């Protein structure tokens, strides 16, 4: 009886090894695509939060640039997380596009320096803030359109 149980166990183990439920590459692909979808959704959420901040900032009397900076940094952090979730193949194929997205964030981030320079030059805080919001709004709009094109081309989260 023990011999028959052992034989049965070995048979089941052999079948399981020969015919696994899913291959390791399928498991890795599924978890990677799921992680990519999650990080891409998080990035888009951060973008909406920045957009909301840009639209409501005129209602704040103090702290407006800090709020915008924090929201912008949320977008940057979420983008870094998205890049970390990409496969080596996606990084290779999309290297130039990702570098352009990186540069775009650097350029948009320069608007905060321009805001400080405007204030130092004596420009009215309201006008400097409106300029900052306009630059952020337009720049992030272009950046997210480019992100969506690159994500689609690289099949992020598929």
pLDDT tens-digit profile of 31-52? 688 999 999 999 999 999 999 9
Mean pLDDT of 85-113: 96
Overall pTM > 0.85: no
What is the Cβ-side half-sphere exposure of residue 9, based on CA atoms within 13 angstroms? 6
Residue 11 lies in a domain: no
Residue 132 lies in a domain: yes
Residue 112 lies in a domain: yes
Residue 23 lies in a domain: no
Residue 49 lies in a domain: yes
Closest alpha carbon to 156 in 76, 103, 97: 97
Residue 116 lies in a domain: yes
- Number of domains comprising the chain: 1
**pLDDT given at position 112:** 97
Helices (H), the chain: 2-18, 24-56, 64-85, 88-93, 95-120, 125-153
Mean pLDDT of 4-26: 41
CATH number for position 107: 1.20.120
Whether 149 and 100 have beta carbons less than 8 Å apart is answered as: no
Residue 92 lies in a domain: yes
pLDDT exceeds cutoff 70 at 107: yes
Residue 121 lies in a domain: yes
Range of 139's domain?
30-153
pLDDT exceeds cutoff 70 at 110: yes
Mean pLDDT of 147-151: 97
């Amino acid at each position: 009886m023990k011999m028959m149980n052992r034989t049965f166990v070995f048979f089941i183990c052999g079948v399981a090894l020969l015919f696994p439920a899913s291959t390791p590459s399928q498991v890795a692909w599924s978890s990677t695509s799921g992680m990519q979808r999650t990080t891409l959704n998080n990035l888009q959420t951060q973008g909406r939060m920045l957009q909301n901040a840009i639209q409501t900032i005129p209602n704040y009397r103090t702290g407006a640039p800090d709020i915008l900076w924090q929201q912008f940094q949320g977008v940057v952090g979420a983008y870094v997380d998205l890049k970390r979730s990409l496969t080596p193949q996606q990084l290779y194929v999309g290297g130039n596009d990702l570098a352009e997205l990186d540069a775009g964030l650097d350029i948009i981030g320069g608007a905060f320096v321009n805001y400080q320079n405007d204030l130092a030059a004596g420009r009215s805080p309201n006008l400097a803030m409106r300029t900052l919001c306009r630059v952020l709004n337009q720049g992030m709009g272009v950046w997210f359109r480019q992100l969506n094109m690159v994500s689609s081309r690289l099949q992020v989260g598929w």
